[in-house]
Structure 1
Amino acid sequence: MVTLRFLASGSFLQVIGDTLGLDKSAVSRAVDSVLDALREKRKEFIQWPTKLNQTKAEFYEIAGFQNILGAVDGTHIRIKRLHHDEASFINRKSYPSLNVQTACDEKGRFTNINANWPSCCHDCHVFRTSQVCAHMERNGNWENGILLGDSGYLCRSFLMTPFLNPIEQHHGRYNRCHAATRSVIESTFGRWKRRFHRLHSEIRMDPKKVTKIVMVCAILHNICIQLNEPDVAAEEPVN
């Protein structure tokens, strides 16, 4: 309960302790213990699609885009300012963050997540060095299924991106179908961050612990979908 309150409310450890009648050190130990235990379950709850035909069929229902296995994108998780290597973590909006790359399926379940990169690393680089990219290089093709990414990624045989300057009519149709289908990842980020307010605000912990928090929030998000838990209603736009 302590850890869920910490992740869902976005409150400081001290505030949670005061609310529950616990001292800060006890709250910190409880949170660390539960985070470690949940993180060990990541391979159980964050899995690459195995029912490929079903996944492709359900993506097709969105906008008629064939053979899609998932959408990929990055999102920034704000962290505290660091005393070392600070420049590597400053993003284009001038605040320190991690660049978290994820892939999701048509239901908004995370099928892969990588929260190890500072914000100076471009989405394209993060993807190129990821396990997802390595897997798709070995297995991805039009028949086996491909991914969708935005214009920040390089178009490859297994990763389709939009036309930057659509001229022909069919380019425009392609872009519209692409955007409608890929929007599932943007919607997923919104649902995820509304469910776990900790991801909205600055996480005043070292990057390694933030990485663990992000992973656990992704695991819990998938569990919520598995249990058909309702989404948290939107209160404000999510960046």
Structure 2
Amino acid sequence: MRKGTFMELCDLLSPALKRKNIKMRAALTVHKRVAIALWMLATPDSYRSVWNQFGVGKSTVGAAVMQVASAITELLLSRVVTLGNVQVIVDGFAAMAFPNCGGAVDGTHIPILGPEHQGSKYLNRKGYFSMVLQALVDHKGHFTNINMGWLGKVHGARIFRNSGLFQLLQEGTYFPDQKITVRDVEMPIVILGDPAYPLMPWLMKPYTGILDSSQDLFNYRLSKCRMVVECAFGHIKARWRSLLTRLDLSKTNIPIVITSCCALHNICESKGETFMVGWEVKANRLAADYTQPDTRTVRRV
């Protein structure tokens, strides 16, 4: 991120991160604490590399990451990961050829080190240990609602049905009561999902099976709009590449770090920070290089 964005972030986090000097030593400044955390989140470096880079102890690096991640979650999450102006979002998806749409929902697996106990519950269908991040995004790929902490083995549809977002949509309180008429049918504001999600009055998913031309066109437009959530996941993992390197943290700290990355993603996107295509290429290569665990051994144990 640019210096201006970094300084603004430090100012916002200062109430939670500022420490007093003591007689034995001076406290780390807020700017250095935030810089260490951002470096660790953005680069798949070892702790040794980072503490050499910043001239601090190894334990200080780990503490700084969690302090900053916790501060972001407590102070900024509710301000930056929010629905915002619904009409702007609806107009944005309408420009992409899907009317009265309020977002696209999907989930992604964040790699973690295999836990000592109950490892099989974290083993996803792709064969590695993970936690699931479920997110609803707007037409620009900003996260408007996130759900973090589910085990990698749990199916995306189950996570969605047990999320607060599902409850709010079911009650009709998440979006304003704004309906349009399509061929004599009243259509509320909807979200878009892939075939794994349940078809609901407020959730549209693609047709399956043998399709006619109109159903093909519907699927094409839905898929075109739903791609924004896939792009958002690609961007967050490419910019904050620690999400690709199997987070070596406790299961209580992992959701905090991932949630803070979601907030940082929205900050960078809203500030118009540069995103280079090469980052995503490198991120995909990095993810493909990891050898996966022997799932037969895990299941036997």
What TM-score do the two structures reach when normalised by structure 1?
A: 0.94
Structure 1 partner of 2:51: 17
CA distance in structure 2 between the aligned counterparts of 1:78 and 1:30, rounded to whole angstroms:
22
Unaligned segments of structure 2, at least 5 residues = 1-34, 180-187, 288-301
> Who is 1:171 aligned against?
215
Separation in structure 2 between the aligned mates of residue 82 and residue 182 of structure 1, nearest angstrom: 33
Task: Answer whether contact 2:237 2:283 (CA < 8 A) is retained.
Answer: no
Matched, 1:217 2:261: yes
For 2:230 and 2:197, the matched residues in 1 are separated by 15
Query: Any unmatched runs of 5+ in structure 1?
Result: none
Matched residues in 1 for 2:118 and 2:132: separation? 15
For the pair 1:77 / 2:121, whether they are aligned, the reply is no
- Which of 201, 207, 225 is matched with 1:181 structurally? 225
Given that 1:52 and 1:145 are in contact with CA atoms closer than 8 Å, whether structure 2 keeps it comes out as no
Render the CA deviation track for 1:59-110: whole Å, top value 9, x for unaligned: 1112x11111000000000000111111110011211000110110011100
Contact 1:142 1:158 in 2 (8 A): no
Aligned to 2:87: 53
Report 1 or 2 for greater relative contact order, CA contacts < 8 Å, sequence distance ≥ 6.
1
Deviates more, 1:7-16 or 1:209-218: 7-16
CA shift for structure 1 position 142: 7.2
Q: Distance in 2 between matches of 1:52 and 1:32?
A: 33
SS in 1 for 2:82: coil
The structure that has the greater radius of gyration is 2
Do residues 92 (structure 1) and 138 (structure 2) align? no
Within 2, Cα distance between the matches of 1:92 and 1:194? 22
The secondary structure found in structure 1 opposite 2:64 is helix
- Correspondence for 2:234 among 184, 190, 194: 190
Identity in percent: 28
Cα 1:178–1:142 shift into 2, 3 Å: farther
Q: How much does 1:53 deviate?
A: 2.0
Give the Cα separation in 2 of the matches to 1:55 and 1:201.
Answer: 33
* Aligned-pair CA distance for 1:29: 1.6
Whole-Å separation in 2 of the counterparts to 1:74 and 1:232: 23
Moved over 3 A (4+): 236-239
CA RMSD in angstroms, aligned pairs only: 1.5
Question: Do structure 1's residue 126 and structure 2's residue 159 form an aligned pair?
Answer: yes
Aligned residues: 237
